[in-house]
Each structure stands twice: as C-alpha cells, then as structure tokens.
Amino acid sequence: MKRRLSTIMAADIVGYSAQMQRDETGTLDRTTRLTTLLQRTAARHNGRIFNRAGDGFFLEFSSPVAAVRCAYETQLHLAEPASRQSIGLELRIGLHLADVIVEGDDLLGDGVNIASRIEGLAEPGTVLLSGAVFDYAKRGAQLRFQKLGERPLKNIEHTVTLYTVIGELGMQSLGTAMIEEPRLPEPARSERLVNSIAVVPFRNLSSDPDQEYFAEGLTDDLITELARFPDVTVISRNASFGLKGIDANAPDIGRSLAARFCLEGGVRKLGSRVRISAHLTDTESNEQVWAERADCSMDELFDIQDDLVAKIVSCVAGQIERQAEALARRKRPKDLEAYECLIRGLSYHRLGGVTRENAEQALRWFDEALDRDPEFGRAYAWRACALATVSEWTGEDVWDELMRAGKRAIELDETDADSHRIVGSLAFYQSDFALAKYHFDRALTLNPSHAYVVGRTGELYNFLGDGKTALTYLERAKMLDPFLPEYCRELEAVAHYVQGDFETCYRVVGEFSRLTRRSAAYRAAAATQLNQPERTQTAARDLLMLDPQFDAEQFIQTEYYKDRDFAHLLRDRIRDALSTVSVRLAG
C-alpha cells in the first residue's frame, strides 16, 4: 500500500442544493467556472484536484504553505465583485496535513476525512486549518492567523487545534505570524502599519431587518474594494466581522487588530428613505479624520450601492495616504522603511511641477526606497514618473532609463494599478497611444475606484484631443475623492483648452492655490486666444515669475499631443503671450 505525506484541502460550495433547486443550469455553469478557478489557482501552487463530488472538492499539495496560499487566494478571488457576478458561489475551506493512502489518482485515509470535517466548521468565505498545517504556514505563508482553540470533529477520536486566516501579514517579519484569540487581544507587533485599516461591520441602526443584509453587504464591498489599493493594508473580513456585536472603541480596535485606522458606519431607515453614514478614525489619536453620509430612497438603495462604495473607498484610501505622508514627514530619515520613503517621495513629487527642487527631492526619496527594498515594484514606477518630471526641468533625454524602470515595475507586480498607469503615461510620452490605452484600461480594471488613476486617464484623452471624454473621467475622479491633488484640476483646465473653452480654462487655473509652470502656460495661451491684452500680460508675468527662462518650444516637447499641429499652435499662443510682456518691459 503506497502512502505519502500531503496537505489536503477540502472545499465545499455553500448552499449548493438550494441553488440547484432554484436554477439547475445556471448553478452548473457557475460551478464549472469555479472548478476552472480552483484548477488554475492550485496549478500555480503545484497542487491538483484529486476528487470531486457534487458540491465538494478535494485538492492535494506537497507544501502546507502552498496549500494555505492557494486557499486564501481562492477566497479573495471569489470575494471580488467581478467573481461574485460571474461565479456567484461561496466556499468553505478546510486544510490538514497528514499521511494519506495513494490509490491511483485518488487519496484516502483519516487525513482526508479530517480535512473534510475541518471544512464543515468553516464559515462561508473563510479558511480553517489544523495545527499541523499552521506549524508550517506561520513561517512561510505571509499571512496572519487567529487561533480558535481545540475543537472536536465528528467521528474523529481526538480533538484538533484550529486556526483561521485573517489577512495578509503585511510588513511584519516573515519569521513570525500574528496569532489572535477570538476577542480583543493585544497585537503581536508593537507598531501598526501606517496604512492599515480595519473595516468594522456597518451597523443596522433601524428596526428593519432587511437593512442588516444591506449593512453586511456594504461592509463586504468596502473590504474588497479597499484591498485593491496597494497603499492600503486591509485587515481581513474574518477579523473585521469578528468585531460584530462587540462594543469597542477605535483605539481598542486598533490595538487588537494592529490597525492604524478604523472605518465605521451605519445604515438607518427613516420612513421611505435610508441614511448611510461612514467615518474614519485614527486609532492612535482617536481623532476623526474623515466623515461622509448619503441619503437615498428605498428604491434607490441597491442602485447606488456601487457608486457609494466607490466614493467611500476612494476617499478613505486618499485620506490614509495623506495621513501616512504626514507621519512619514515627522520621522527621522534613518527610521523610514521603504514604503515610508515612497510616500515621502510622493509628497514631493506632487509638487514637482512647482519647483525643480521638489522634483529632485522626490527622485531622491524613490531611490532611497529602492535602496531599502530593491524588489519594490511601485518604487520603480514612481521613480520613472519622478525622473520624467525632472527631465522637464533639465531637458535631458532619459527615455531609455524611464522605460527600463517602468518595465521592471510591471515585472515585479503586474497587478499594481499605479504601475500600469505610469507605464501607460510613458507610452504616450513616446507617442504609442495604443500601448498607453492598454495600460490605462488595465489600471482601471485592476482598480476602478482609484481616483488618481481615473483622473490621469483623463490626461490620456486630453492628448488624444478628446477633451469631452477627458472631463468625464476627471468629473468621476472628483466624485470618488473630493480631496484629489490639484494636479487633477490642472488636467481639467487643459481639457477645457483642448475643447476650445478658453474662458473656462482661464477661470479654472485662476482658482488654484498655487500655479505650476504648466497651468500658467495654458492660462497664458487661453488669454491670448480670448484676445484680452490685460489678462494675457498678467498670465505671462505669472509664468515668467515661475520660470524666467521659460521656453515654449521646449515646453511643448513634454505636451504629448497626438496631433502635433495642435501642440505647435499651443506653442505659438504662449509665445504671443510672452511677447506682450517683453514689449511692455522694453517700453
């Protein structure tokens, strides 16, 4: 009798019989798609499906770490909105490591039975594992776990210690895993990640039980969508829903889940209308850093859910990034980790068009991030972006270096929306608009709620000469995050210029809290187009105050319009504006 040591994954479809009764054909189609997902995910981790019966799957892995990663990634994938629409099925997953009997392609024995019993105790959408699997996974799976304790299993003589996966390990040491008891314990690490957030289950604040389901669904969507942002570390759904019904304040939640921020909210029915509120709290200071509420009719409730989630998620992600920047600025340089170097660089990069010193500081911080972590894909992407900004000031030819950095960013993390957005920008810098659109579309697919990515997509359409479409993207970006960097307002001004609405372009730039070379140049061109001498002279002086050596020809080399005749006309209108100042000064 042949035997071997294997990690067994047992997975069961939740509510399969009821779904088959309601829609047999549709359920079978969704099950086929689920099977394909399991096969592909298992194959990436050197696993295989060895048995399948109705609503159940059994998979084998030679590595416990690979098995846990496969189970976790499968549940994450099924929780995504696209998967909920295309597959629409939930799994319970149980894992166990044991000596099993090999019979052809099938596996038999207590190890398989125990995995099945563990799966039966799992909540929908979660992963449970035995202590035998945990002993290996805690050092290699890069996940955080919650200890559930000893549990008896049906028809199994001995009890089994069970653990559940509660999320990514983040920046914690790979040699230790975080284990939490089923209450509000002290965290295993002494310092919370500056970008970590726990989404507390939204509360049903009315007596209508139907709102309970909506509140839970809203919480699920917020967790899933926030997880798309690489700048945000989201505590897992399992850990967050463990807080349901527990009366704990933000500092307690932060300590228990090692979360720097806490997102809470509620759903209240008011007659025929519903009010949804949300607020973000810094768990260390207990200060509220953002709040929002929305009212709608009962009929509109589910129709607006996607837009509401997108807006909350984008605003919260933006607030977390801005708070993290402030924290990074207060730290001494020697205390900064790679991520903190990145966000400090971002704070300078966003002002890179204001002064050359800002652009060069951003580049230095991105280089520092790569010195600390040479495999940090996003740092490569932002370094390319910063280098392009520096080159706008210096006029140096850095295209080969830019493309190498962009390519390396995608190689290191193909799923990062920001990296695709930056590589897309590099593509239209080289007039490859088809490649640019591919990367922007990919970025939007990866994270449709990333306000900055949505806004920068507007820039692509500006350069394609389609100001109307650009404004559509920019309006959505503002809806997603009212606190967007002013750079996106600059893109809005450019879009109005592209459309030929020179009056609005001039007005929008005049509302900026600070001018950049680019916005000042477009305002000067717009004033010239309006044939208003006083405005033209004022705009030209503002431009020369920012850059006394401003060169219109050099400027349009970094305005990557597909229609170069349009770029040349822009150059001529800027030159016309500057000539009015020269004439005035000469007189």
Q: Is the pLDDT of residue 151 over 60?
A: yes
Using one digit for the tens of pLDDT, what is the confidence trace for 275-285? 888 888 888 88
pLDDT of residue 213: 59
pLDDT of 183 over the 70 cut: no
Residues 215 and 251 in one domain: yes
For residue 314, CA distances in Å to 253, 286, 479 come to: 22, 22, 9
Mean pLDDT to the nearest integer, 337-349: 77
Greater confidence (559 vs 203) lies with 559
pLDDT for 177 equals 39
Please report the pLDDT score of residue 276 as a whole number.
85
Q: Of 23-37, 260-274, 328-342, 390-404, which one has max mean pLDDT? A: 23-37
The whole-number pLDDT of residue 254 equals 84
- The answer as to whether 383 is a domain residue is yes
Would you say residue 436 lies in a domain?
no
User: Which amino acid, 495?
Assistant: A
Q: Residues of the chain with pLDDT > 70: what percent?
A: 81
User: Is residue 362, in this structure, part of any structural domain at all?
Assistant: yes
**What is the mean pLDDT of the segment spanning 256-263?**
81
Residue 53 lies in a domain: yes
Q: Is residue 71 part of a domain?
A: yes
Question: Which token pair is 318?
Answer: 């933006």
Per-residue pLDDT tens digits for 134-145? 888 877 777 888
Arithmetic mean of pLDDT, 314-337:
59
pLDDT digits 0-9 by tens, 508-549: 998 887 788 899 999 999 999 999 999 999 999 999 998 888
- Answer yes or no: is 287 within a domain: yes
Cβ atoms 547, 578 nearer than 8 A:
no
- DSSP string for residues in 422-441: HHHHHHHHTT-HHHHHHHHH
CATH number at residue 206: 3.40.50.10610
Residue 420 resides in a domain:
no
Q: Which residues, other chains included, contact 575 with Cβ-Cβ below 8 Å and sequence gap of 6+?
A: 552
Average pLDDT over residues 224-241: 67
Range name among 165-179, 259-273, 377-391 with the lowest pLDDT average? 165-179
**Residue 324 and residue 214 share a domain:** yes
Q: Quick one: 64 and 150 in the same domain?
A: yes
Q: How far apart are CA 185 and CA 181, in angstroms?
A: 7
Q: Output 293-296 pairs: Cβ under 8 A, ≥24 positions apart.
A: none
Q: Is residue 27 part of a domain?
A: yes
- Domain end, chosen from 122, 156, 180, is at 180
409 and 311 share one domain: no
Most trustworthy range by pLDDT among 255-259, 343-347, 417-421: 417-421
Which CATH number belongs to the domain containing residue 62 in this structure? 3.30.70.1230
**382 and 271 share a domain?**
no
Query: What is the residue range of 378's domain?
Result: 333-413
How many structural domains comprise the chain? Answer: 3
For residue 402, what is the domain's CATH number? 1.25.40
Point out the domain boundary residue: 367, 388, 413: 413
What is the SS3 assignment for 297?
A: strand
Q: What number of CA atoms fall less than 13 Å from residue 218's CA on the CB side?
A: 29
Mean pLDDT (the chain, rounded): 81
User: Are 313 and 339 contained in the same domain?
Assistant: no
The residue among 224 and 115 whose pLDDT is bigger is 115
Q: Work out the average pLDDT over 79-83.
A: 76
Boundary (domain end) residue, out of 364, 391, 413? 413
If asked whether residues 100 and 202 sit together in one domain, one would say no
**What is the pLDDT confidence band of residue 130, given thresholds at 50, 70 and 90?**
very high
H or E stretch covering 307: helix 305-330
Is the confidence at residue 48, as pLDDT, over 70?
A: yes
Taking residues 55-78, report their average pLDDT: 90
In a shared domain, residues 396 and 315: no
Q: Determine the average pLDDT of the residues in 100-107.
A: 89
**pLDDT at residue 543, as a whole number:** 93
> Which residues 6+ apart lie within 8 Å of 472 measured at CB?
458
Bridge-based pairing state of the strands 91-103 and 3-13: antiparallel
Same domain, 325 and 344: no
Same domain, 170 and 232: no
What is the mean pLDDT of the segment spanning 295-320?
A: 69
Same domain? For 13 and 147 the reply is: yes
Give the predicted TM-score (pTM) of the model.
0.49
Most confident of 33-47, 67-81, 433-447, 555-569: 555-569
So what's the pLDDT on residue 187?
A: 41
d(CA 281, CA 262): 5
> Are 253 and 312 part of one and the same domain?
yes
Give the pLDDT mean for 290-311.
71
